[in-house]
Structure 1
């Protein structure tokens, strides 16, 4: 069980991976060569055939390898998050629970999960970074952080602290159950008895 969660700051803007840049370069090169070949001034011989074979093999290899590769990390890790009964410590900033009006946590992404089974030009294994905690304060301020989840580093392992936030009215019952990944009826009933 982990005592902290890694905080991640995604880069803003559009990101193209090196693999896709190579594919774009090959596609544009092949397209230009085919267009130029149709004019009387150019004769590339077997070069178009050679580049076409490389292009097809590259696409095939990329599509297959994407089933075994993790999504690219576009950003940087900036610190850790620790949940405590009376506060949430994020990136060395301490947010007191008494100052918080509402806590929202979206945490269904775990590193290594298979994210898409279709053939496409992006990796199919999750990087575990599509998780967010949002804090809404009584003074109207809001903060939001992305965080990493792995098999060993998950927000649901802070059950005691999350339960405390619920009992203090910072999140709804259904939201707590979602975060704790509880959907079995018997498990939920047992948890209700624990709360009483």
Structure 2
């Protein structure tokens, strides 16, 4: 089954991991952007995205993804895909607005006999910003391999959750220990070569 164009509601894609800070631009809430000029090609954003959205260009070893036409959105215009969609299938707006539009479409599909119609907005990744209205929401793999129950990888989840604050506490504790050591014991003192020789002769 192919994805029906009339059942797509589009908003920005996002991921949970943190690429190098200089490569990410969060100034626009609409989309997670990748600053290609500072991308180091580490691939963390690719590994962390359960939807396999970012793509690594093998020619220049940099990651690219849809910018959601942030240049247009920042001045109040719709993304180009929304503006040019000939059937009006793609919508753009706040997540709440899009959920309302999606729910309306689900009800229409159910009236047409699609009992399993629903919104693809999986909880395992905290919801998505690109939502799909599926005729068979119970089997999203039918639609270009959408994962049925995507999850954030455990190491990434641990790092973003528990380990990140613990690492900050560890850094502060280490720094405090160094200060107490310096104040209590003082710095190591170097001995002169002559003193060392006298010690060896005795």
Q: Give the structure with higher Rg (CA).
A: 2
Q: Tell me the TM-score range normalised by the shorter chain.
A: under 0.3
Which protein is richer in helix relative to its size?
A: 2
- TM-score, reference length from structure 1: 0.19
Which protein is richer in strand relative to its size?
A: 1
- TM-score, reference length from structure 2: 0.18
